[in-house]
Amino acid sequence: MFEEINPNRRYFLTTMIKTIAATQLGRLEHTKQHATSATAELPIEGELPFLGGAIAWLNSQPLTVDELRGKVVLINFCTYTCINWLRQLPYVRAWAEKYQDQGLTAIGVHTPEFEFEKNIDNVRRALMDMRIDYPIAVDNDYAVWRAFGNHYWPALYFVDRQGRIRHHQFGEGNYERSERVIQQLLSESSTGGVGQEMVEVEARGFEAAADWDSLKSPENYLGYERTDNFASSGSTVLNKPHLYTAPVQLRLNQWALSGDWTIGRQSIVLNQSGGRIAYRFHARDLHLVMGPSERGTSVGFRVLIDGQPAVAARGLDVNERGEGTVTEQRLYQLIRQPQPIGDRQFEIEFLDAGVEAFAFTFG
């Protein structure tokens, strides 16, 4: 079912990957986090591939396979707007800090999903905001991704001191198991002991674990190449400005536009102020990947939930009046609602033209 990724197939794999990460693999974390602490014998899965395909390195000079021999290496495939990776990040960050003096080298491989994630300034800013100081290989051409035969965001590969891949973890979850693998690899051929204590992580904001028990809305893209459940009335026009009307009522996981929008392959762009996006969802959190269509500009917005300003249910990027501003291309948290969780109608109205929106994610 899986095959090497190429630009024409990337959308299919991404949708499948994140569906898996947001449901099955996430629920593994929920149910198996505190399973057996013993680590079984780790088989050899392959050799650490060539890293030279990265177009740049951040937080480090370029690292080679030869330079990494003698160290335990943790490879983490990521892209900075991926909510599944953001929820894994606090563990990777904690492991990198805790075990660096015992021989662990953590390396992020940033393989972009959206075009704007190829912008190194965007990546550099995201790393600073996320307090990431370990090396990051910028994999804009998917060269490192293909060398690993990888298909997942996020993905972890655990490499021993001889440069052999001994374990992997695809998607969120299994954090205790992953840390036990790190401890075992560090203990092999080590003269010093490696403690068995687990890191303590207090994840907040974007990084907080999803509320898996109430999550009934999967990720959905807004560009025509890979969207689902678009419900605006009338015809849909691709790659050209068009006036859209939203129905009065949406069914669960349907979404709709109102106002003057251009629906493109990867995203939608608002042409006149006052445009809205509506979404019927069932989740604690709602996020939207978006940004100004022109660099250096900003777009004001207000968020409604069930027709009222999102105040009690507002996310990190919404103020106490239910308002916010789009200033850069990233993931925005618009809703984090208190219990009980039910089907809710989300709307975002943009007070200015020029917003570009890419994808909804939930948690």
State CA 37 to chain mean position distance: 28
Extents of the domains making up the chain: 10-207, 212-362
pLDDT (tens digit, 0 to 9) for every residue of the chain, 363 residues total?
222 333 333 333 343 444 444 433 333 333 333 233 344 688 888 999 999 999 999 999 999 999 999 999 999 999 999 999 999 999 999 999 999 999 999 999 999 999 999 999 999 999 999 999 999 999 999 999 999 999 999 999 999 999 999 999 999 999 999 999 999 999 997 666 788 899 999 899 999 999 999 999 999 999 999 999 999 999 899 999 999 999 999 999 999 999 999 999 999 999 999 999 999 999 999 999 999 999 999 999 999 999 999 999 999 999 999 999 999 999 999 999 999 999 999 999 999 999 999 999 999
Listing DSSP states for 247-300 in one string gives: -S---TT-EEEEEEEEE-SS-EEE-STT-EEEEEE-SSEEEEEEEESSTT--EE
Distance, in Å, from the CA atom of 281 to the CA atom of 29, rounded to the nearest integer, reads 23
H or E element in which residue 108 lies? strand 104-110
Distance, in Å, from the CA atom of 144 to the CA atom of 147, rounded to the nearest integer, reads 5
CATH of domain 212-362: 2.60.120.260
Is the CB of residue 206 less than 8 Å from the CB of residue 64? no
Give me the half-sphere count of Cα atoms (radius 13 Å) on the Cβ side of residue 51: 25
SS3 308: strand
CATH superfamily membership of 10-207: Glutaredoxin (3.40.30.10)
